[in-house]
Amino acid sequence: MAKGEVSQELIEKLKSIVGEKYCITDKEKLEPYGHDEVTDPHYMKPAQCVVLPANTQEVAACVKACYEADTIMVPRAAGTGLAAGAVAIFGGVIISIERMNKILEIDKENMIVTTEPGVTTAVLQNTVKDAGLFYGGDPCSGDSCFIGGNVATNAGGNRAVKYGVTRDQVLGMEVVTPAGDIVELGGKVRKNATGYSLMHLFIGSEGTLGIITKIYLKLVALPKFSMDLLAVFDNLDDAIALTPKVMNAGITPVCVEFMDNASIKQVEVFLNEKLQHSDIGNYIIVQIAGDNEDLLDEQCEKIDELAREGNALDVLVANPTVIWKSRKAYLEADRARSLVFSMEDIVVPMTEIPGAVSQISRLGEKYNVAMHCAGHCGDGNVHIDILKDDRTQEEWEDMLPKIQQEIYKLVYSLKGRVSGEHGIGFKRAALMAKYTNPVEIEMMKAVKKGLDPKNIMNPGKVVDVTK
């Protein structure tokens, strides 16, 4: 692994590249860069130096300077990650792309947006919407995360059922390699069989193979109509069992989201607003969209019928603003209750969701800990917030691995994986190494060693080649 300590000489060099103002070494100004959205102090580390290059050439020059000084680089987007991927755990220079925040082109004819990586996802969504087009990606943190971070982590989100995850939106990218070379992978082409898809390797590589400096994203026609349905169940199993039924009815919803009763109660406290059936309800939120209102009405009736047959207490056409505010407040609500908590991000085959969630929920009773479940059951990806509450740090550190052990044993027995969308970063590197086939881990290490032989680009994240 390269050096974690940033020399004064390197700092001077970086200042000469980006300008004094954009090379941060002041302790107070460095504070926000010492963590991401993970609130456990284990996954924080004060940064020593952050550079804010203005363009690809400056990124490449900064990377070359670090490379020559044999000093670790940590690429960083908005810092909204949930895996400590953009935290300088092992020291080094944080290269933040926050100033590269311009949408470069909306090519309406080819239905492609070209953007710098530091554009906020919601800004990108709204800008292309104003141009009459639609961007399919939609992570819950869209108001604050950057599109570059979305690509680097292959962010998932709500609409993956219909539109896929971030990977499915990407047509091309420009990257700066660990040695500081600039290369364009893919582009405005919809098919590409020209050698290995390095682009797909970079998507989700969490800044460990290079820095993404430009992105080409697929757009689609803006659907004319959209409808949100809320189905409420008093029984968790019944709620989740609706998912495969909807999917199998020939309907492709935009999303099928789920919140268990504990999550709903927590959100109610956080928003200080009464939520429907919050006393005993578990929510399934189904969004459908399309260009033909009659077809949507038909689908709506079918979902209503399936939900009622499946013991729903109530099925309502929901106000999208209200229902999505509740759904998106899940994370904040838990954080407001217990600053330290662990957010698991399991993914299993869709039909295994009911079994997985009900078994995992029971662990809450077994360990006498608050565990809130919500997520994207339409694609088999569910978040489980395990809350520390007023446990001591020692109690917490003793308990958490035991619960995780039980969760991931179950998840892997169901042919699931550690992370559906939050990624591995530093937080889950050991968990992934523990549960993944060692052959696959060795292959990942071989790729990392091949593309970053100095182990200088965000080392120790995703796979630790030194272990």
Contact status, residue 86 vs residue 74, Cβ threshold 8 Å: yes
Burial 423-456 (b: 16+ CB within 10 A, else e): bbbbbbbebbbebbeeeebeebbebbeebbeebb
Burial 253-265 (b: 16+ CB within 10 A, else e): bbbbbbbbbbbbb
How are beta strands 255-259 and 282-290 bridged, if at all?
antiparallel
Shortest reach from residue 313's CB to a copy of itself, in Å: 24
User: Which C-beta is closer to a copy of itself: that of 143 or that of 291?
Assistant: 291
User: Which C-beta is closer to a copy of itself: that of 99 or that of 188?
Assistant: 188
Shortest reach from residue 270's CB to a copy of itself, in Å: 26
Shortest reach from residue 179's CB to a copy of itself, in Å: 9
Shortest reach from residue 369's CB to a copy of itself, in Å: 25
User: Which C-beta is closer to a copy of itself: that of 4 or that of 187?
Assistant: 187
User: Which C-beta is closer to a copy of itself: that of 26 or that of 294?
Assistant: 294
What angle is formed at CA 72 by the lines to CA 66 and CA 73, rounded to 5 degrees? 75
Shortest reach from residue 353's CB to a copy of itself, in Å: 10
Shortest reach from residue 295's CB to a copy of itself, in Å: 5
Residue 109, phi then psi, degrees to nearest 5: -65, -45
Q: What single letter denotes the amino acid at residue 133?
A: L
Q: What CA–CA distance (Å, rounded) separates 187 from 287?
A: 31
* 180: CB partners within 8 A, 6+ apart: 60, 61, 63, 64, 67
User: Which C-beta is closer to a copy of itself: that of 318 or that of 463?
Assistant: 463
A 10 A CB-CB count for 227 gives: 20
Contact status, residue 95 vs residue 75, Cβ threshold 8 Å: yes
Beta-bridged to residue 215, according to DSSP, are 115, 173
User: Which C-beta is closer to a copy of itself: that of 253 or that of 364?
Assistant: 253
User: Which C-beta is closer to a copy of itself: that of 306 or that of 313?
Assistant: 306
User: Which C-beta is closer to a copy of itself: that of 397 or that of 442?
Assistant: 442
Six-digit token string for 80: 């909204």
Shortest reach from residue 6's CB to a copy of itself, in Å: 26
Contact status, residue 325 vs residue 267, Cβ threshold 8 Å: no
User: Which C-beta is closer to a copy of itself: that of 271 or that of 441?
Assistant: 441
Shortest reach from residue 49's CB to a copy of itself, in Å: 27
Shortest reach from residue 170's CB to a copy of itself, in Å: 11
Contact status, residue 307 vs residue 242, Cβ threshold 8 Å: yes
